[in-house]
């Protein structure tokens, strides 16, 4: 029986061989192709039957042919061979990764040949290469960032040690300047990481305020003049006359983009010049597309690296980091900032010649009155804050961080109370009023998450603003803060302006008139119990009533704890079931005002409707229960 006729057996042939997505070859032991199905056209580009009579080995990548022939020969000794990878030449002379499983016909029908079931694994191989590349890039980034962080920390620690040794006034000033410089370098590194985290979590805010490039660009470029002169580089800029107009957008983010691009140009240029050109690319319907080009005569970027320089943790080469430093996040952040403002960024570069980064961002066209409206600066706003007299609870276990935050708040004439952990914070909140709580997340005894959950269960504090102070600003960390009941978060390190912006711009916190507030515990009507129903059904049997109340007090708190955990875990079905479980008990105790809460929780949790309201009412309900159960125990059982 001929090899090419081997598979032509009715349904098997139609369903598996011709109509299958896999490529099927029949080849003899010498590698001659005796048959192939139609799938070679879709995957490899060859016409039907066009490879019959040719030798399989002639299509194998030459560099791997010897190894392939070895595996092919080994297959002759086996009835079945699995997962042999190879690269096969396509019609367009490219090579695709294939993987075959081989059925040895010598073991089946005494024929010296194979049925090769081949699958295209090109995408899988690309994914493996990309995964390996990203893993190496991430490992390189971690090594880089470790080095970058340790360097300024060592500088700060070393200079602080020298300061303790009684230096002269001149030496003291030198050491302090070195500490400031190291601290600024450390802050740049941390801000890079936090910026990327904010971008990826969708929490980055963009302003729409009036600005003029005639004001922004000269002062920005002047900050790099000293560095450029040190390296004997020419640094200049030009501004299109058409851009001498009021634009509406976020000048701080534009500043950040340009600082990254210009600092890179200065860093990677050793001789020659750096130029910044700004011009209006087009204007249409109240929008001006601003194009900015930053060009240098620096080391340039190899062509094969141009596609990866905007990726996280990536620089053109690992040696770049060793020589120049940096996190490898700058261009990633620039690209994200540009694209989030509906702009584009492009780079043209030639190794050892130089690079040009081209950024285009659309800005609204404003009027002079917009500048006037934007005139109240942050400094003026901070001055206004001195009259605010906010009552602030600062929950922070680190002495230095506590001193820093207290110093800022004191300048604003705030009333400040401090707690070194979450447990102390809860006790202070029980006995005092605060306009806002600044809550550290990682603390001993009780962390910020647990403390916040406990505060939200207090009836009188369910709406007090709580801001997380956290060095962790990844998306999952932010979501965890919000899920615990915090209103917002402020990443460390923060500036006075950052804290101001969070308190008064984002959350719009204002001091309350404490005297006008109801005394603690009277802001809402007390929850009352009524044992008349138990007296009625028991014939006023005090022993029965006492037993029922005792059972309620012993069993309900455990269920309430389960309800709290179900709410935290967003297990709505379980929350509904637990509410249904305790509903009769609240009827027996005459807790009618709470029963309506239970019904709402039960019904909406079951249907997963009004979930924000479910969380609010459940929190209030648990807080009320924490008040009534001790009272019920004290009054009813002692009666």
Does residue 136 register a pLDDT over 80?
A: no
Tell the CATH superfamily of the 378-516 domain: Response regulator (3.40.50.2300)
Helix (H) or strand (E) holding 320: helix 318-324
The predicted model gives 544-562 an average pLDDT of 84
Return the closest-CA partner of residue 519 out of 586, 463, 460, 599: 460
The predicted model gives 138-147 an average pLDDT of 66
The whole-angstrom separation of Cα 236 and Cα 323 is 26
pLDDT at residue 370 in the model: 65
pLDDT digits (tens, 9 = 90+) for 412-457: 888 899 999 999 999 888 878 888 999 998 888 899 999 999 898 8
Average pLDDT, the chain: 81
pLDDT at residue 165 in the model: 85
pLDDT at residue 513 in the model: 45
The predicted model gives 10-22 an average pLDDT of 53
Please indicate whether residue 27 or residue 600 has the higher confidence score (pLDDT): 27
Q: What is residue 32's DSSP assignment? A: B
Does residue 14 register a pLDDT over 80?
A: no
| Residue 572 · residue 611 · CB < 8 Å | yes
Reduce the DSSP state of residue 118 to 3 states and report it.
Answer: strand
Q: Which residues contact 617 (CB under 8 A, 6 or more apart)?
A: 597, 600, 601
Q: What is the CA angle 547-550-555, rounded to 5?
A: 125
Q: Where does the chain hold its CATH 3.40.50.2300 domain(s)?
A: 378-516
Please indicate whether residue 591 or residue 558 has the higher confidence score (pLDDT): 558
Using pLDDT thresholds of 50, 70 and 90, give the confidence band for residue 18: low
Partners of 236 in the β-ladder: 275
Domain 209-373 belongs to what topology?
A: Heat Shock Protein 90 (3.30.565)
pLDDT at residue 349 in the model: 93
The predicted model gives 385-408 an average pLDDT of 80
Residue 624, token pair as written in the block: 């009320």
pLDDT digits (tens, 9 = 90+) for 102-123: 988 887 667 889 989 999 998 9
Can you state the angle between helices 475-484 and 448-456, rounded to 10 degrees? 30
Using pLDDT thresholds of 50, 70 and 90, give the confidence band for residue 227: confident
Residue carrying structure tokens 């002639």: 58
pLDDT at residue 401 in the model: 80
Does residue 305 register a pLDDT over 90?
A: no
pLDDT at residue 608 in the model: 83
Q: Any idea which of 269-273, 401-405, 509-513 has the lowest mean pLDDT?
A: 509-513
The model carries a pTM of: 0.44
Reduce the DSSP state of residue 21 to 3 states and report it.
Answer: coil
CATH 3.40.470.10 applies to domain 132-200:
no
Q: What is residue 46's DSSP assignment? A: P
Domain 3-120 belongs to what topology?
A: Beta-Lactamase (3.30.450)
pLDDT digits (tens, 9 = 90+) for 341-384: 999 999 999 998 999 999 999 999 988 666 655 544 444 445 55
Does residue 9 register a pLDDT over 60?
A: no
pLDDT at residue 342 in the model: 93
The predicted model gives 159-167 an average pLDDT of 85
| Residue 202 · residue 336 · CB < 8 Å | no
The whole-angstrom separation of Cα 374 and Cα 210 is 6
Does residue 142 register a pLDDT over 70?
A: no
Residue 573, token pair as written in the block: 């079905």
Helix (H) or strand (E) holding 235: strand 234-239
Residue 587, token pair as written in the block: 């009827």
Using alpha carbons, list the distances in angstroms from residue 130 to 120, 123, 126, 321.
18, 10, 6, 21
**What DSSP assignment string belongs to 375-411?**
-S-HHHHHHHHTTT--EEEEE---HHHHHHHHHHHHH
Q: Where does the chain hold its CATH 3.30.565.10 domain(s)?
A: 209-373
The whole-angstrom separation of Cα 608 and Cα 566 is 13
Domain 532-638 belongs to what topology?
A: 1.20.120
Return the closest-CA partner of residue 459 out of 583, 559, 593: 593
Q: What is residue 41's DSSP assignment? A: H
Does residue 46 register a pLDDT over 60?
A: yes
**What DSSP assignment string belongs to 100-116?**
EEEEEHHHHTS-SEEEE
Please indicate whether residue 245 or residue 199 has the higher confidence score (pLDDT): 245
pLDDT at residue 628 in the model: 82
pLDDT at residue 179 in the model: 82
The whole-angstrom separation of Cα 486 and Cα 607 is 26
């Amino acid at each position: 029986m001929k090899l090419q006729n081997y598979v032509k057996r009715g349904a098997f042939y139609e369903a598996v061989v011709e109509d299958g997505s896999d490529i099927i070859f029949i080849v003899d032991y010498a590698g001659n192709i005796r048959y192939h199905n139609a799938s070679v056209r879709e995957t490899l580009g060859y016409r039907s039957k066009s490879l019959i009579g040719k030798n399989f080995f002639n299509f194998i990548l030459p560099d791997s042919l010897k190894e392939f022939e070895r595996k092919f020969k080994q297959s002759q000794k086996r009835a079945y061979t699995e997962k042999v990878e190879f690269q096969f030449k396509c019609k367009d002379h490219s090579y695709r990764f294939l993987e075959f499983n081989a059925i040895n016909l010598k073991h089946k029908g005494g024929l010296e040949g194979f049925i090769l079931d081949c699958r295209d694994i090109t995408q899988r191989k690309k994914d493996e290469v990309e995964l390996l590349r990203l893993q190496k890039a991430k490992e390189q980034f971690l090594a880089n960032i470790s080095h970058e962080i340790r360097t300024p920390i060592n500088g700060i620690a070393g200079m602080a040690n020298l300061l303790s040794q009684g230096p002269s006034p001149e030496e003291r000033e030198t050491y302090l300047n070195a500490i400031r410089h190291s601290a600024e370098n450390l802050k740049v590194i941390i801000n890079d990481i936090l910026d990327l985290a904010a971008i990826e979590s969708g929490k980055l805010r963009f302003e729409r305020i009036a600005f003029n490039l005639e004001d922004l660009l000269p002062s920005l470029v002047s900050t790099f003049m000293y560095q450029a002169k040190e390296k004997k580089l020419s640094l200049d800029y030009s501004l299109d006359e058409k851009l001498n107009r009021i634009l509406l957008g976020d000048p701080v983010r534009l500043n950040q983009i340009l600082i990254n691009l210009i600092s890179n140009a200065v860093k990677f240029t050793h001789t020659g010049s750096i130029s910044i050109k700004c011009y209006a690319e087009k204007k249409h319907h109240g929008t001006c597309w601003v194009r900015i080009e930053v060009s240098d005569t620096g080391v340039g970027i190899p062509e094969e690296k141009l596609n990866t320089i905007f990726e996280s943790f990536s620089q053109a080469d690992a040696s770049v980091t060793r020589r120049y430093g940096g996190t490898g996040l700058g261009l990633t952040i620039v690209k994200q900032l540009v694209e989030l403002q509906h702009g584009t960024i492009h780079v043209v570069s030639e190794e050892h010649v130089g690079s040009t980064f081209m950024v285009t961002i659309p800005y609204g066209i404003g009027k002079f009155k917009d500048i006037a409206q934007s005139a109240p600066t942050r400094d003026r706003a901070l001055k206004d804050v001195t009259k605010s007299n906010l009552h602030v609870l600062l929950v922070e276990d680190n002495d230095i961080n506590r001193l820093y935050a207290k110093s800022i708040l004191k300048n604003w004439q705030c009333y400040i109370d401090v707690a070194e952990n979450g447990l102390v914070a809860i006790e202070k909140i029980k006995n005092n009023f605060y306009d806002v709580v600044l809550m550290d997340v990682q603390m001993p005894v009780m962390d910020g998450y647990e403390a916040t959950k406990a505060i939200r269960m207090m009836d009188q504090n369910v709406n007090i603003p709580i801001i997380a102070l956290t060095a962790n600003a990844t998306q999952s960390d932010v979501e965890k803060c919000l899920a615990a009941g915090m209103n917002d978060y402020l990443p460390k390190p923060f500036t006075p302006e950052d804290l101001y912006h969070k308190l008064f711009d984002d959350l719009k916190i204002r001091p309350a008139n404490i005297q006008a507030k109801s005394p603690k515990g009277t802001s809402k009507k007390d929850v009352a119990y009524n044992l008349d129903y138990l007296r009625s059904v028991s014939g006023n049997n005090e022993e029965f009533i006492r037993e029922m109340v005792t059972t309620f007090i012993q069993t309900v708190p455990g269920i309430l704890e389960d309800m709290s955990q179900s709410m935290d875990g967003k297990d709505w079905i379980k929350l509904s079931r637990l509410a249904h479980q305790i509903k009769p008990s609240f009827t027996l105790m005459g807790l009618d005002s709470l029963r309506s809460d239970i019904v709402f929780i039960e019904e909406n949790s079951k249907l997963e409707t009004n979930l924000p309201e479910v969380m609010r009412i459940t929190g209030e309900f648990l807080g009320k229960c924490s008040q009534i159960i001790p009272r019920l125990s004290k009054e009813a059982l002692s009666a």
